Amino acid sequence: EKNLSKKNKCIVIGGGIGGYTAAIRAARLGGQITLVEQAEIGGTCLNWGCIPFKLLLQSASVASTVNKAKEFGIKTGPPEVDYAALISRKNQVVAELRKGVQSLVKAKRIRLVVGSAELFDGNRVEVTSKKNATASVEEIQSDRVIIATGSKSSSIPIPGLDKVKAQNSDDFLNSRTMPSSTIIIGGGVIGVELAQILNGLGGSVTILELQNQVIPGFDKEIADILESELKQQGVTIIKGVLISGAAMSKNKLKKIVTFKIDGKEQTISADEIVVAVGREPVMSGVSPQKLGLDLNNVPMKGIKVNCHMETNLSNVYAVGDVTGEIMLAHVASAQAEVAAYNALRDEAARPKVMDYKSIPSCVYTSPEVAFVGLTEEQTMKKVDVEVGRFPFSASGKARLLGEIGGMVKIIADKKYGEVLGVHIIGSRATDMIAEAVLGMNMEITIDELANTVHPHPTLSEGVMEAALSLSGGAIHIP
């Protein structure tokens, strides 16, 4: 690599998807890399987040397929959930994936140190490792440091919530039994995915959401469709709530939540309460005050970075949830690519820039939700737009799959035809959004998207038809 700096020693703190991606890229670029992880390699996404949640969602989806089997001419008995088997499958797949990452790290000759790191400056980190009861401290010198310490579930100061031992998403994943009824505080991404899991596996679920839409930040029309689909499946969703307290029932068997809606106080009870009100950066071993490390304010107090993923401290970079920017695994790995390159490049070489222009957001409910770009609410304030829609009820593929809920919605600039936002709710939306991400990266116009030949029969034709509805008219809608 001709642009490589001679200063090639790099320490990465945190072995989540941001950290291990940075370590592998930096090693591929020829660096001598030390990766420090205090818990499990793979971090939140692999161990306690994306992967285990999607595994449980898959089990819920299998149960729902068995429930609908008759519709497809297949006779079965009603599905029976074996929660212990489902959890052990989850643990097994997670362990396999963890082993996979470990072997990738090993293959790149990255030194993996199990322990907790403390950052002193861009050239020095101390790692405390515990073996049996004894702790040892190792000082590691380096040319660059990449901080990738991740995030944790946020809590909310609701009186009584501690006493009733309300769970967060980690606690939920660690429990060996499934509650038969659950109150979920927060109808964001974790809230709706968890509701889908529990409801799909036969539990009863109530979501209490502060705002007037679930998955705030997503296009409201799409979020409202998701809400009605979830309600139809049996999830109770109460929006605009102000939660005031939690307590145990008199017989100590149920957990009770008190909240106000339209000024009226109400209570509901369930076996379990799970809090999913967001996540916040974790800076263990990184003391912003002591180091003089700048933090940002948007949206959480994370480590402030510039577009090269550099912090204000020389030779120190930060990536992933700890930056508090957009807390998504794929953002962390994209930031890690940028940070690793910049950390190892020759100073004369041009740095790579992190581009947030077309970042997809996905929700793995049934139907799935995915979008890239602007929502209709955001564009209404900025430019003159036109909106094309294609309902999956008009798609042959959706009909044969028996998945006719949802639609593709495309927002385009009225004058120039540039695609500004693509929103999909429906089966396999999270895979289909990739086309829109690529298109928007290349500043695609609505005519270009409409004129792109899509395979038949696929759900992806919905993207083309939605584009056609703004470019000469869709074929399969009147």
Give the active site residues: 456
Q: Please give the residue whose beta carbon sits closest to ligand NAI in the complex.
A: 188
Distance CA 460, CA 433 (A): 9
Query: Sign of the CA dihedral 190, 192, 195, 199?
Result: negative
End-to-end alpha-carbon separation of the chain, Å? 56
| Phi, psi (degrees; rounded to nearest 5) at 230 | -65, -40
In the complex with ligand NAI, the residue whose CB is nearer, 10 or 208, is 208
The CB-of-377 to ligand NAI minimum distance in angstroms stands at: 15
Residue type, 6: K
Minimum CB separation of residue 26 from ligand NAI in Å reads 26
Number of H helices, E strands in the chain: 14, 22
* Angstrom distance (rounded) from CA 168 to CA 276: 6
Q: Which is nearer to ligand NAI, 187 or 391 (CB)?
A: 187
Determine the 3-state secondary structure of 138 from DSSP. Answer: strand
Q: Least distance in Å: CB of 193 to ligand NAI?
A: 6
DSSP category for residue 452: S
- Which residue ranges make up the site for ligand NAI (CB under 6 A)? 156, 185-191, 193, 208-211, 216, 241, 243, 276-279, 327-328, 362-364
Q: Provide the residue type at 409 as one letter.
A: K
**What three-state secondary structure class fits 121?**
strand
Least distance CB 218 / ligand NAI (angstroms): 9
Question: What is the DSSP track for 23-82?
Answer: HHHHHHTT-EEEEEESS-TBHIIIIISHHHHHHHHHHHHHHHHHHTGGGGT---PPP---
Query: Backbone dihedral region of 289: left (phi > 0), alpha (psi from -120 to 50 degrees) or beta?
Result: alpha
| In the complex, least distance from residue 344 CB atom to ligand NAI, rounded to whole angstroms | 29
Nearer to ligand NAI, 36 or 243 (CB): 243
- Which is closer to ligand NAI, CB of 11 or CB of 161? 161
Give residue 180's identity as a one-letter amino acid code: S
In angstroms, give the least distance from the CB of 126 to ligand NAI: 30
Tell me how crowded residue 199 is: count the other CB atoms within 10 A of its CB: 21
Bridge partners, 377 (sequence order): none
The smaller minimum CB distance to ligand NAI, of residues 78 and 157, is found at 157
- As a residue count, the chain comes to 478
Q: CB nearer to ligand NAI: give 208 or 437.
A: 208
